[in-house]
Amino acid sequence: MKTALITGATGQDSSYLMEFLLDKGYRVFGLIRPTSTPSTSRIAHLLDQITLIRGDVGDLASLVRAVEAAQPDEVYNLAAMSFVPDSWSQPEKAIDIVAGGVGRMLEALRMVKPKARFYQASSSEMFGKVLETPQRETTPFNPQSPYGVAKCAGHRLVDVYRRSYDMFACSGILFNHESPRRGLEFVTRKITRAAAMIKAGKQDRLALGNLDAKRDWGFAGDYVRAMWMMLQQDTPDDFVIATGETHTVREFCEAAFARVGLDYRNHVEIDPAFYRPAEVDILLGDPSKAKEILGWEPEVKFEALVNMMVDAEQV
């Protein structure tokens, strides 16, 4: 029986990854921050099958203790300040957690369990104002937010530890991936929630920012499968994980409201407050390498993803 340690245990991706690994027969440990009332709603159905360890990616000593307790074969570092706009209001925290957390987790592994395999959740936000389209593993990074800068630093640290200490460490450059478990602060969930609420007569309008921003949206459940596949390879490597298709926020609105029989144009309004200080206009990933080497392909298409999210809303 293999053992996995997952940081950021209460997040969207962690919940799907835990389900996936449990189905594979893994013993699963989840790292949660030492708060008095941790929010475990996404993993509530799994609490009797997993072991939670209190620790913080901002504290090396707690990570060392977590690795000593779990003795993992695989570590999935999913802890981060995941909502990009927050990094503008708390840039120092973004750098410390998103970048520094990677270094601390790698150092804890080097000290305690250097043969464990390590997965880092890198991000398409590293490409920022893109220098080529589509974006692939060789595309230069050009981040447009403190979050993107921090993710770049974490990504480079993985490469440094891989080369310097011969550790099995790899990064998945994941493009936007959504699900019904997405936080309400994210634009996709804001849209699907509003569509359901407006249909139910409990909300009138939805205010959004840039409707013309283009993103490569996939299903989180598909993407955690790619994470696992990376750690099963003979040698560590980095991979872009994406659908290879791009859609605008406007198209997402159109599909979500159509699912409940509404025209988004009658309900969505533009609010400049939701524009970023530096906009990222388009993100489109090229998953060719993942398809060729890992044998990975996304199973849930765009329309099915939107429908899934709208249908899951409880209003």
Out of 16, 26, 76, 147, the active site residue is: 147
Q: Which amino acid is at 154?
A: G
For position 279, what pLDDT does the model report?
A: 67
Residue 125 appears among annotated catalytic residues? yes
* pLDDT over 80 (residue 140): yes
The answer to which of 101-105, 118-122, 252-256, 274-278 has the lowest mean pLDDT is 274-278
Contact 32, 10 (CB under 8 A): yes
Of the candidates 87, 122, 123, 124, the residue annotated as catalytic is 123
Strands 169-174 and 239-241: parallel
CA 43 to chain centroid, in Å, comes to: 16
In angstroms, the CA 29 to CA 45 distance is: 15
Instruction: Write a three-state SS string for the chain.
Output: CCEEEEECCCCHHHHHHHHHHHHCCCEEEEEECCCCCCCCHHHHHHCCCCEEEECCCCCHHHHHHHHHHHCCCEEEECCCCCCCCHHHHCHHHHHHHHHHHHHHHHHHHHHHCCCCEEEEEEEHHHCCCCCCCCECCCCCCCCCCHHHHHHHHHHHHHHHHHHHHCCCEEEEEECCEECCCCCCCCHHHHHHHHHHHHHCCCCCCEEECCCCCEECCEEHHHHHHHHHHHCCCCCCCCEEECCCCCEEHHHHHHHHHHHCCCCHHHCEEECHHHCCCCCCCECCECCHHHHHHHCCCCCCCHHHHHHHHHHCCCC
Cα–Cα–Cα angle for 45, 9, 7, rounded to 5 degrees: 155
- Mean predicted confidence (pLDDT) in 66-76: 98
- What would the pLDDT profile of 3-40 be if each residue is shown by its tens digit? 999 999 999 999 999 999 999 999 999 999 887 567 89
For 179-196, the pLDDT digits (tens) are: 999 999 899 999 999 999
What's the pLDDT at 85? 64
Closest residue by Cα to residue 312 from 155, 163, 179: 179
With CA atoms as reference, report the closest residue to 99 among 161, 54, 57.
57
94 pLDDT above the threshold of 90: no
| Average pLDDT value for the chain | 94
State yes or no: pLDDT of 83 exceeds 60: no
Is there a contact between 4 and 21 (Cβ–Cβ < 8 Å)?
yes
| Residue 287 near residue 218 (C-beta atoms within 8 A) | no
Give me the sign of the Cα torsion angle 292, 213, 82, 48.
negative
Print burial letters for 204-215: b (CB count within 10 Å at least 16), e (below 16): eebebbbbebbb
Identify the pLDDT of residue 260. 97
Higher-confidence residue: 87 or 129? 129
Q: How far apart are the first and last CA of the chain?
A: 41
Task: Report whether 270 contacts 281 (CB < 8 A).
Answer: no
pTM exceeds 0.85 for this model: yes
Q: Where are the domains of the chain?
A: 3-177+217-241, 184-216+245-283+300-311
Which CATH number is correct for 184-216+245-283+300-311, 3.30.9.10, 3.90.25.10, 3.30.565.10, 1.20.1090.10? 3.90.25.10
Segment 34-49 mean pLDDT: 86
Q: Is 107 a catalytic residue?
A: no
Catalytic, 76? Answer no
Read off φ and ψ for residue 75, nearest 5 degrees. -125, 130
- CATH class name, domain 3-177+217-241: alpha beta
pLDDT above 80 for 276: no
